[in-house]
Structure 1
Amino acid sequence: MTDYAEEQRNELEAIESIYPDSFTVLSDEPISFTVTVTSDADENGEIVEATLKFTYVEKYPDEPPLWEIHSQENLEEVDGEDILTLLQQQAEENLGMVMIFTLVTAVQEKLNEIVDLMKNRREEEKQRKEAEAEEAEKVLFQGTVVTIENFMTWKAKFELEMAELRRKEQKEEEQGGKIKLTGKQLFETDHNLDTSDIQFLEETGNNVEVDESLFQDIEDLDLDEDDPDFDPLDMGSDED
């Protein structure tokens, strides 16, 4: 008949001697203890760690012990789930034999794999960022490649913007009275312009001073006002 209690005590002493710094007894009835498992450090000194809690059942090792992850460091949730699955597989393969050392060793290897995966993920992320930066620099240097599609899209947008701009300018001119009229349009809209000079003289009382010296020699000029080609503006040209 198997003495389960004896086998459990013997294994407990062995585990304590193998892991003196990471082994802690939590209770004697039932026997419960923890073993802290730490991965090897990577080149940056980063580690992952899991503290496993084991509890012996009455018929251990013919029945698997109870286990759980008591605490952890740098482990993601999916990693914890993988460790629990690994413990279940190892326990099923080692039924009938004391297995705590085997279980702890399997978890130790798993943690080292996780550290390697973390290293690979960091390296992949670094390469991805470098590739993105290189591509961004290339696009900045080359500019946008013009195709028929993006040119037509730009052209349609540009024409809409210009039409909207012209509409706004026209509206502002209409609202602000900024429409410029030609001379003809001014006379057509205000018939008083042709008599404005006369009105000005009347309003000022004809008090317009005239420099008579400007007209002293006008009688000496040979003016032929009957000449159809006569142009008083060209009078000065005959003196040359």
Structure 2
Amino acid sequence: MSAEHYAEEQNNEVEILQSIYPTELEVLHTTAPQKFSIVVDVEDEDEIRPCTLSLTVEYTATYPDELPLFEIALIPNAAAAAATDIEAELDSKDLDDLTAKLRELCEENLGMAMVFSMSTGLKEAAVQRLAEKTARLKRAKEARIQKEIEADQAKFIGTPVTRASFLEWRTKFDVETKAHLGRLAGEAGEDRAAARRAAASKKDEDRRLTGRQLFEQDKSLAQSDSSFIADGDVAVDASLFAREDGQPSDASDTE
């Protein structure tokens, strides 16, 4: 096939593409090798985050019998990004993968006009990639939420009791109970001993009476002392002395 024939085929394809993409296609080189770009809007209702790609194609001398040169780029689109809260979006690795897929598509269509197939194939592959990334993000988010729910629920659920864990708890409980009862018994014993000491002390105090108290309580003591009075001793009148409590004696009261 002559160079003129290749050029004619290429011109015919460009004209067809301009009719299909009246606003999306932009011719960059009008002379050979012809070069143009097509804007590809990637959207699929509410399932993915919309984005815009550009497919730049440059014919080779013997296209379509050989693959064209092409490049895929992501066009920033703030309006499309703000239209949804879906987080998945294309990155540089995704563009490399899309380029590889598009090259495989071109090899399958070698010998035929292929730019329209490249444009539609790019859109389909981009939609599929975004859907896969969105699904992964949703699963990860749901798993994270589920873990948070389970963590909250675990706060209200005790540790499952097994026979081994119960026996371990029972042994520890018995040891602590015995120790506690021992402390209580010791404290009670100390209290009883203190009470006994206090009672004994009070009893001793009650027993320690003054000489006057002994004299007043036991009149026989006065009689026993009379045996020691010798001839010529002077009798003492008890009424002449004040009582220990500051009151006059019984003898003075009777006068």
Give the TM-score band, short-chain normalised: 0.5 to 0.7
Q: Which residue in the other structure is 1:35 paired with?
A: 38
State how far apart, in whole Å, the 1-side matches of 2:158 and 2:95 are. 48
Residue identity opposite 2:10 in structure 1: Q
In structure 2, the CA distance between the partners of 1:47 and 1:221, relative to structure 1 (3 Å rule), is: same
Cα shift readout 1:148-207 (whole Å, capped 9, x = no counterpart): 68x98xxxxxxxxxxxxxxxxxxxxxxxxxxxxxxxxxxxxxxxxxxxxxxxxxxxxxxx
Q: Which residue in the other structure is 2:232 paired with?
A: none
Deviation of 1:45 after TM superposition, in Å, equals: 6.9
Q: Which residue in the other structure is 2:118 paired with?
A: 103
Deviation of 1:221 after TM superposition, in Å, equals: 5.2
Cα shift readout 1:70-110 (whole Å, capped 9, x = no counterpart): 33453123321221111111111111111100111111111
Q: Is the 8 A contact 1:54 1:68 kept in 2?
A: yes
In structure 2, the CA distance between the partners of 1:143 and 1:78, relative to structure 1 (3 Å rule), is: farther
* Secondary structure, counterpart of 1:58 in structure 2: coil
Deviation of 1:144 after TM superposition, in Å, equals: 3.7
- Aligned match of 1:67 in 63, 70, 74? 70
- Aligned match of 1:52 in 44, 50, 55? 55
In structure 2, the CA distance between the partners of 1:14 and 1:70, relative to structure 1 (3 Å rule), is: same
State how far apart, in whole Å, the 2-side matches of 1:47 and 1:72 are. 11
TM-score, reference length from structure 1: 0.57
Q: Which residue in the other structure is 2:148 paired with?
A: 133
Q: Is the 8 A contact 1:31 1:56 kept in 2?
A: yes
- Aligned match of 1:220 in 212, 216, 232? 216
Q: Is the 8 A contact 1:49 1:75 kept in 2?
A: no
Deviation of 1:44 after TM superposition, in Å, equals: 6.3
* Secondary structure, counterpart of 1:20 in structure 2: coil
Residue identity opposite 1:220 in structure 2: E
State how far apart, in whole Å, the 2-side matches of 1:216 and 1:31 are. 143
Report how many residues are paired: 163
State how far apart, in whole Å, the 2-side matches of 1:145 and 1:25 are. 73
Identity of aligned residues (%): 33
State how far apart, in whole Å, the 1-side matches of 2:158 and 2:145 are. 20
Superposition pairs of residues 150-229 of structure 1, within 5 angstroms: 218=213, 220=216
Q: Which residue in the other structure is 2:103 paired with?
A: 88
Greater radius of gyration (CA): 2
Where in structure 1 are there 5+ consecutive unaligned residues? Answer: 153-214, 223-240
Where in structure 2 are there 5+ consecutive unaligned residues? Answer: 77-88, 169-209, 219-255
Q: Which residue in the other structure is 1:116 paired with?
A: 131
Q: Which residue in the other structure is 1:180 paired with?
A: none
Residue identity opposite 1:8 in structure 2: Q
In structure 2, the CA distance between the partners of 1:81 and 1:51, relative to structure 1 (3 Å rule), is: same
State how far apart, in whole Å, the 2-side matches of 1:216 and 1:72 are. 122
State how far apart, in whole Å, the 1-side matches of 2:122 and 2:136 are. 21
Q: Which residue in the other structure is 1:182 paired with?
A: none
Q: Is the 8 A contact 1:52 1:71 kept in 2?
A: no
State how far apart, in whole Å, the 1-side matches of 2:140 and 2:61 are. 49
Deviation of 1:122 after TM superposition, in Å, equals: 3.6
* Secondary structure, counterpart of 1:137 in structure 2: helix
State how far apart, in whole Å, the 1-side matches of 2:125 and 2:97 are. 9
State how far apart, in whole Å, the 2-side matches of 1:35 and 1:137 are. 52
Deviation of 1:49 after TM superposition, in Å, equals: 2.9
Q: Is the 8 A contact 1:38 1:111 kept in 2?
A: no
Residue identity opposite 2:153 in structure 1: K
Residue identity opposite 1:40 in structure 2: E
